[in-house]
Chain A
Amino acid sequence: MDVNMTYATQDMWTWWLAIYLYFGGLGAATLAVTFLTDMYLKPNRALVIWGAGAGVVLLALGSLMLFGHLLDKTAVLTVLNPLALFNQSSAWIAWGTQFIIWMMVWGVLYALPYVRETEFPHKVPVIRDLIDKPFVIGTARLVQSFHRSVGWLAVINGVGVAVYTGLLLQSFPAVALWHNPAVPLLFTVSAFSTAIAFLLVLMYTLLHDQADEHVRVLYERIDLVLIAAELVILFSLYQYLKNGSESGVRSMELLWNDYGWLIGFIGFGLIVPFLLELKGVMRGWASRVPILTAAVLVLAGGYLLRHYFMYAGVYAYPW
């Protein structure tokens, strides 16, 4: 068919969807990392409470972004039903919704025994009344008996959410930038990188405990590897886009000619934090400021990645 193509970006899913993807990946990966740390590295009550809290709050905020833009909000009940997976197993939003719900459920349950042991919640009126109810006390005791199993259920669902954010975009076949295997990988690595950055910020400020030094050092090393992996994936994506379909070439031109992407995301969101953390891992820093700076930059870069990704998807229309 001899046609005259028209190339266009979309205005259906914009910044608010980028926030949904960002908060989803960040919250879920934060929960997964803190629970794994607690289970296998060093039991850490504060970290788990922050991880579960961040997971639930960020996922709730992100989900509100999507919910707020639905045309018919009452119809969302269909997708909240776990049976939606059997009816629509090909739809990643159906999977993502279930991952989010169950990550929250198992996450709250895993943190519950820790919450009951912590002094602060007992000072907050509503929470105090809630966690002192016999049913909640019994649940906390039951969870304690199966703590690691509950932790793994939360982690699996958390990883599911992080991967889902990329799979969702990958399921749109018309846009070369999104419909390729690098996207779920990129979004998953970015989710875990931003989560570790978030935890480093926490552990260098609010949860500053000398006993957690080896955890912080490990996080810095993992983040270094994750940023390096992200750069490799981006390089591969660039190679894929520049010599592929016209949709891909145009997306590549939109992204790599934009200073927000090139300098904002790749420069300050990846390369600068990479160098700061590399110096920290190899020779150490005298102060916590460089690592904190790197972590904040990674967090900002994580949003920029998703923001520019949403705006740079190019459709090729045959008219």
Chain B
Amino acid sequence: MTHYAMVIDLNTCVGCNACMAACAMENQTPVWDKNKWRTYVHDKEIGLGSDVQRRFFPRLCNHCDNPPCMTVCPTGATQKKANGIVFVDQELCMGCGACAMACPYHARVPVTRRDMRQGREFYGSDYRRTSPSMDKCSFCDHLVEQGRKPACVETCVGYARMFGDLDDPNDPVAQMVASGAARALMPHIGTRPNVYYIDDIRWRG
């Protein structure tokens, strides 16, 4: 059985934001509102005085094995595939926002009818969305089904984003997770996330 996961190496993320752009174009997200991107790279300064380092921290849906957004979804629009990908059935979603309230990773965003009107102007006749919904990253499942990787992974210049199968012991992603080098965010909440991070040790040195 396949169990998809992503590892993000904070040591090699250079904050170019190409992942954000690739995701937005691939998934036609509302780029005009920075609060509605499926993935976002936070830019933070860490340190004091002249000893300051910039840290780039990409975030996205963690495709949890115990996803609270799915548990609270009253219509069943938020679903999980056998391969671990959590996705939204746009037609079923009524947009109550409970998923956004439940998500500890700020990964659920509303796409409104206004966004759709703007989307049709921005993306033109190729615009695919047919109804408003609470949106989220889908690990680009339409690409994954074709044997490709998510757009953010394919475009990452520093190879900071890696995508693989946790159930394949030979997969580098599975090995990084198994070794403990890559770790999940806030595991104490019990969401059992499938996005792992390799800590950046530059600024700590």
Contacts and interface: CB of A to CB of B under 8 A. Distances in A.
Chain A, interface SS category: loop
Contacts, number: 118
Nearest to A10: B101
Interface stretch (B23-31, B105-113, B151-159, B162-170): B105-113
A315 B75 contact: no
A84 B68 contact: no
- Among A10, A12, A97, the most chain B Cβ lie within 10 Å of the Cβ of A12
Interface string A84-108: 1001101111100100000000000
Nearest to A66: B96
A3 B186 CA distance: 10
Contacts of A75: 75, 77, 91-95, 131
A79 B103 CA distance: 21
B49 to A, nearest CB: 17
Interface in B93-140: 93-98, 100-106, 110-113, 131-134
B46 interface: yes
Interface residues of B, number: 47
A30 to B, nearest CB: 25
Contacts of B39: none
Contact of A71 (B42, B73, B110): B110
Interface in B57-88: 57, 59, 68, 71-77
A319 B59 contact: yes
Given A71-B95, A75-B92, 16 more contacts: A4-B46, A4-B55, A12-B101, A13-B97, A71-B93, A71-B133, A79-B75, A88-B76, A91-B71, A91-B73, A91-B98, A97-B74, A173-B102, A315-B106, A316-B104, A319-B42
The 10 A-B residue pairs whose C-beta atoms are closest, nearest first, are A71-B95, A174-B104, A93-B74, A75-B94, A71-B132, A319-B57, A94-B74, A78-B75, A91-B74, A319-B42
14 contacts: A10-B101, A13-B97, A66-B96, A76-B94, A78-B74, A79-B94, A92-B72, A92-B74, A93-B98, A171-B102, A174-B68, A316-B186, A319-B42, A319-B57
